[in-house]
Chain A
Amino acid sequence: MRTAFIQTLTDAAAADRRVTLVVGDLGFGVVTDFAGQFPDQFLNVGVAEQNMTSVAAGMALAGRIVFAYSIANFPTLRCLEQVRNDVCYQGADVTIVAVGGGVAYGALGATHHATEDLAVMRAMPGMNVIAPGDPLETAAATRAAAAGIGPTYLRLGRSNEPTVHAGQLPWSLGRAIRVREGRDLTLIATGGMLPTAVAAAEQLDQSGHAARVLSMHTLKPLDTQAVLLAARETGTIVTLEEHSIIGGLGGAVAETLCEAGLGNVRFQRIGLPSAFTKEVGDQEYLRRHYGLDVESVVRRVTELFEQGPRAGADIP
């Protein structure tokens, strides 16, 4: 995703000299070529994320289309009030880019795990929240943001994520992509969980549960129509996110279902517990530990079906 991002941004910067990349002294091996190619469209502010965000907002208010880039929680939580006041409140054309969404930085530990970012960024007024599911979605999202769509959060994985989509991608902001068809349930995935959702769906198919897969690359604005359609047509919704169970994709989908009177649809959130990990390991290890690997997802869904037609029906 990182590579797709910088390649797309490089093309955008060549085409439009307003497109500017601001970094907080991170991006080794990623941003070097961009910096050399577009010195007037690149800025390393140093290890100072509050100033990075304010400077990005100031440049945007002076006519630039700015991408403020760092890793994990540094461009979001570290400078949250700058994000809220300087970017969102002013409606500045700033896209905040965080590499290492979820537990991508594995063994670096909990300081480097971005596991509440989606919830917090969703809560920011006027903010678009995008977590692409593969490199093609990353490129499409970057192209969209480079046109200037106002305050935006772009959450990326790291590198070498598999490409899920094939051919021309029908990507647009706030429109879920139906990656796979199925009648019995819908797996809704955001960010780097998309390949897991597709693989789990294939296994579930073989055990008689035909799963639709939606790539919910945009958490805000949420494609509520796709959620409601999936609920009505498939009756079961399972959300998948490499993020705290609180306030991310699962929360957003639950809000949508309940407010539409579909609170009794069979529904399961799969995500990370609201806890700091005590485990040490790489992304795959941690995903497995927290039940975000393909086998765990298949098991959770199978158990859900074994519980009966409607989980909510048991609640008095």
Chain B
Amino acid sequence: MSVDLRQLANRIRLRVVEMSHRGRSSHVGSSLSMADLLAVLYGRILRIRPDAPDDPERDRLILSKGHGCAALYAVLAETGFFPVEWLATYYQNGSRLAGHATADGIPGIEVSTGSLGHGLGMACGMALAARRDGRPYRVFTLLSDGECDEGSTWESVLFAPHHGLENLVAIVDYNKIQSLGHVKDVLDLDPLAEKWAAFNWAVREIDGHDLGAIEATLREVPFTPGKPSCLIAHTVKGKGVSFMEDELLWHYRSPQNDEYRRAIEELEDQ
């Protein structure tokens, strides 16, 4: 069985827009920028089984950028971890799907996140325990560019190569926009790949919307034996909906009626 990645990514985007519209929630742009990454991870890369979400040998994915959880919930539902009907309740009173990734009884959510700069450290701990316990699983974590401002992120960046965590993969969704502006203007991260490389990670840079490139690259982890892998994925915030692309507004705004209809039409045409 082979999932059509284009279709899966598109369904994630449709779900994200629906969820954001219905729940009047923020972070639609942050969810759309990583839809292709999640489609490849859940469609091809992660060794996971929706019917056994707690399998001790499963690969782990920690969504360190927990605010992008709409896309994570969407891909989990689309790949069978829980009923797609749950998505309609996202961000609403009495729902089990909160506006940041919440592990409380949601199959497939490994840890609860939301505050930035926590995921990579927990991923380091899991990867180290896996290696010491002789477990074969790998730990993936998806970071935002904004959380590369956090000092705690860099504590973990320093830690992982020292311990040779080759079963750890950090993916940066480098969509170039953070909370109050473009990354370049708020707190420039460039040269980002060189920074991770200087900390002794094996680094690759790709177009984070090129499904073939994402898959080919992630199939090669660890990029260098004995080192943790860092994938800098150059992405576009709001990718897939023309009027949301590279617009700060869509870090916060939820699509209103006309915007919602236009976004759905665009995505259904893709």
Chain A contacts to B: CB under 8 angstroms: 40, 43, 45-46, 48, 50-51, 53-64, 81-82, 85-86, 89-90
Contact = CB atoms under 8 A, between A and B. Distances in A.
Contacts of B124: 51, 54-55, 58
Given A54-B121, A56-B125, A63-B56, 8 more contacts: A46-B159, A51-B158, A57-B121, A57-B125, A58-B128, A61-B110, A85-B118, A89-B112
7 contacts: A55-B121, A55-B125, A59-B125, A59-B129, A62-B135, A85-B113, A90-B111
B152 interface: yes
A90 B125 CA distance: 14
Interface residues of B, number: 30
Given A61-B111, A89-B112, A90-B111, A50 B121 contact: yes
Interface in B111-132: 111-115, 117-118, 120-130, 132
B121 A82 contact: yes
B133 interface: yes
Given A53-B121, A54-B118, A59-B125, A46 B158 contact: yes
Contacts of B126: 58-59, 61-62
B57 to A, nearest CB: 12
Which 8 pairs of residues, A with B, have the shortest CB-CB distance? A58-B125, A54-B121, A62-B129, A51-B155, A55-B125, A58-B122, A50-B152, A48-B155
Given A43-B128, A63-B133, A57 B122 contact: yes
A51 B156 contact: yes
A63 B124 CA distance: 14
A85 B112 contact: yes
Given A46-B159, A48-B155, A90-B103, A82 B118 contact: yes
A45 B111 CA distance: 21
A91 B62 CA distance: 16
A50 B117 contact: yes
A90 B152 contact: no
Contacts of A86: 111, 118, 121-122
A75 to B, nearest CB: 14
Given A85-B118, A86-B122, A54 B128 contact: no
Interface string B219-256: 00000000000000000000000000000000000000
A55 B133 contact: no
B114 A54 contact: no
Nearest to B127: A58
Contacts of A61: 110-111, 122, 125-126
A90 B126 CA distance: 13
Contacts of A85: 112-115, 118
B151 interface: yes
A61 to B, nearest CB: 6
Interface string B121-162: 111111111101101000000000000000110011011000
Nearest to A57: B122
B141 to A, nearest CB: 10
A121 B156 CA distance: 24
A63 B129 contact: yes
Contact of A54 (B103, B130, B135, B152): B152
Contacts of A62: 125-126, 129-130, 133, 135
Nearest to A55: B125
A61 B62 CA distance: 12
A141 B159 CA distance: 31
Contacts of B125: 54-62
A59 B155 contact: no
For B114, B121, B128, B130, the residue with the greatest tally of chain A CB atoms inside 10 Å of its CB is B121
Contacts of B151: 50
